Structure 1
Amino acid sequence: MAYSSYSSGGLTSRRTNAQKAAMVFGVVFLLIGALGFIPGATINYGQLYFSGYASEAALLGIFQVSVLHNVVHMLLGFAGLAMARRHSSARLYLLGAGVLYALLLIYGLLIPLDSDANFVPFNTADNWLHAVLAIVMILLGIFLGRQQGESRSYRGNPNPGEGSIPN
């Protein structure tokens, strides 16, 4: 049986740090979205509504969630996995999702949490989490360059036996 390898366009074992970060965030967001639909991981599960501040369900008993909130997390997770295929799209994902979380933070701080404007819904814990996610994702998107994770090339003397010990 013949095996083919496709390193251009597909996932390979030589991912950049930006690709790895996008993949990790993608998996985490998928898990968070899925956990929001699991009784036990989400308390007051019977009070899980499609959207709105009236949804009393709380992921891990901390973060107020709704069906819409969980679906958004899952969509962000799928986007992270899809965009992790290429370095440039992985960085775009990190920056774009970071900006999205910054906007959600601003929105969450400006609206009354007990109003119809809080349709996602958010609570104070969500706002703090959005602040951390915005900062971390934007910084990763900016500073993760082209280098490979563990497979960086050696840039020293190609013949380490020659000239490495002074005479």
Structure 2
Amino acid sequence: MSASSAHPGIGAHHHRTAIEITALTAGAVFALVGILGFIPGITTSYSEMTFAGHESGAMLLGVFQVSILHNIVHLLFGAAGLIMGRTATQSRYFLIGGGAVYLVLWLYGLLIDQASTANFIPVNTADNWLHAVLGLVMLAAGLLLGRGSAERRDV
């Protein structure tokens, strides 16, 4: 048995599936957003950023309310996408699971009083609608691009 047949990843070229590319791209974008949230100028009112809570006055791109916790969550979500985007099955889990998380976050943002301590992330109206779109797009991508690709690639 040759080294390449014993270890398919060694010496073999891995052609990424559409779902893997989508998960890797989403992961990279989430990581970038997490980094940008810590850059003054890109994040306006940077000096007003708090660790968590609705009191944070920092706004990513002057639109989306962020905090240190919010930025860390984006970084962790990005890392998950970059790690899970290596296989079709894990990409599918990331996109469907992440989409579901973002839809729950959207509903949470709609139901809470944004001026209350329940808004610990924090979120504002722009965040809420971005979370809705992200949730729907990620869920749809996971379901549509994942049909059959996991079985073909990860066996």
TM-score tier (shorter): 0.7 to 0.9
Q: 1:12 to 1:58 in 2, by over 3 A?
A: farther
- RMSD, matched Cα: 2.1
User: For residue 51 of structure 1, what is the amino acid of its counterpart?
Assistant: A
Structure 1, residues 17-71: CA drift from partner, whole Å, max 9, x if none? 1100000000000000000000000000000100000000000000000000000
Counterpart in the other structure of 2:73: 72
Percent sequence identity over matched residues?
50
Mapped contact 1:16–1:146 kept (Cα < 8 A): no
Unaligned runs of 5+ in 2: 150-155
User: TM-score of the superposition, structure 1-length normalised?
Assistant: 0.81
Secondary structure in structure 2 of the residue aligned to 1:52: coil
User: TM-score of the superposition, structure 2-length normalised?
Assistant: 0.87
Q: How far is the alpha carbon of 1:146 from its aligned partner?
A: 4.5
When you count helix as a share of all residues, which structure comes out higher? 2
Counterpart in the other structure of 2:45: 44
d(CA) in 2 for partners of 1:12 and 1:47?
A: 48
Query: Where do 4+ consecutive residues of structure 1 move more than 6 Å?
Result: none
Unaligned runs of 5+ in 1: 148-167
Q: How far is the alpha carbon of 1:8 from its aligned partner?
A: 4.4
What count of residue pairs does the alignment treat as equivalent?
A: 144
Q: 1:111 to 1:121 in 2, by over 3 A?
A: same
